[in-house]
């Protein structure tokens, strides 16, 4: 099941997708806090998603949040 913010809001804005795509393609998981900011700007208030993006990780390719945003999950 999708987290609540994916169900209630169209949070996969072009900005959110662009940030997630850049993280995925560049393997730049240090940008996860930027993805959290973009998600929050898109009205995502899901603490699990935002907390994961702001967490220490480790973040790697296959990250469930990035995959979810990019439709890979």
**For each of the chain's 73 residues, which pLDDT tens digit applies?**
455 555 444 677 889 999 999 999 999 999 999 999 999 999 898 899 999 999 988 888 888 999 989 888 6
Q: Report yes or no on 12 lying in a domain.
A: yes
CB atoms near residue 34 (< 10 Å): 16
Predicted TM-score (pTM) of this structure: 0.84
Q: DSSP letter at 30?
A: G
* 2 assigned to some structural domain: no
Domain carrying residue 63: 8-69
Number of domains the chain is built from: 1
Cα 18 to Cα 67: distance, rounded to the nearest angstrom: 13
């Amino acid at each position: 099941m999708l987290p609540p913010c994916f169900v209630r809001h169209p949070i996969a804005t072009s900005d959110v997708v662009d940030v997630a795509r850049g993280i995925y393609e560049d393997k730049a998981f240090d940008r996860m806090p930027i993805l959290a900011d973009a998600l929050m700007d898109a009205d995502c208030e899901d603490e699990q998603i935002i907390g994961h993006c702001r967490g220490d990780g480790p973040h790697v390719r296959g990250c469930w949040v990035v995959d979810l945003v990019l439709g890979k999950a």
